[in-house]
């Protein structure tokens, strides 16, 4: 990857981590799950408000490294207004991106491409996938804390 593109990606990650989108505790949420990454200390709670089969609102709160905060911010942007089934497909695309090096095809995941170099640092993959793992647990209505370990 050329250095200009890497700089753009770094800036995208910094923008999302410094000014995360949808970082708040909603007044009402149908489901919430806390995710914890003991290796890095990331701890994020994901909140979902569903209207039928549609994610009416998705937000998060907590603390973590720049990668986990950026990934959570990007996740909320991607999942807002999506059907539960479509959200599941996006979650699978993200896990394939980090697990197999697959390029996400959905335009809603364009910002996530800024994190694809995280694959070069296996311990950091857990930072990027933590919010996605937590939102999957919330969609499954498990109500349990999830951990990257």
**Predicted confidence (pLDDT) per residue in 58-97, tens digit:** 999 999 999 999 999 999 999 999 999 999 999 999 999 9
Neighbour count for residue 4 (Cβ, 10 Å): 8
The CATH number of the structural domain formed by 3-147 is 3.90.1010.10
| Domain ranges for the chain | 3-147
- In the sheet that holds 54-63, the strands lie side by side as 54-63, 42-51, 31-37, 146-147
**Predicted confidence (pLDDT) per residue in 18-68, tens digit:** 999 999 999 999 999 999 999 999 999 999 999 999 999 999 999 999 999
State the Cα–Cα distance between residues 40 and 43, nearest whole angstrom.
Answer: 9
């Amino acid at each position: 990857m050329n250095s200009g593109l890497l700089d753009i990606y770094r800036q995208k990650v910094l923008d999302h981590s410094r000014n995360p989108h949808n970082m708040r505790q909603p007044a009402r949420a149908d489901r919430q799950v806390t995710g914890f990454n003991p290796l890095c200390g990331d701890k994020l709670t994901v909140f979902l408000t569903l209207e039928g089969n549609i994610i009416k609102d998705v937000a998060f709160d907590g603390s973590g490294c720049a990668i986990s905060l950026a990934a959570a911010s990007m996740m909320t942007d991607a999942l807002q207004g999506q059907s539960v089934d479509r959200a599941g497909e996006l979650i699978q695309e993200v896990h394939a991106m980090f697990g197999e090096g697959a390029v996400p095809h959905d335009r809603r995941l364009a910002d996530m491409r800024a994190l694809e170099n995280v694959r070069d640092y296996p311990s950091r993959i857990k930072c990027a996938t933590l919010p996605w793992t937590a939102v999957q647990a919330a969609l499954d209505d498990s109500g349990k804390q999830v951990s990257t370990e």
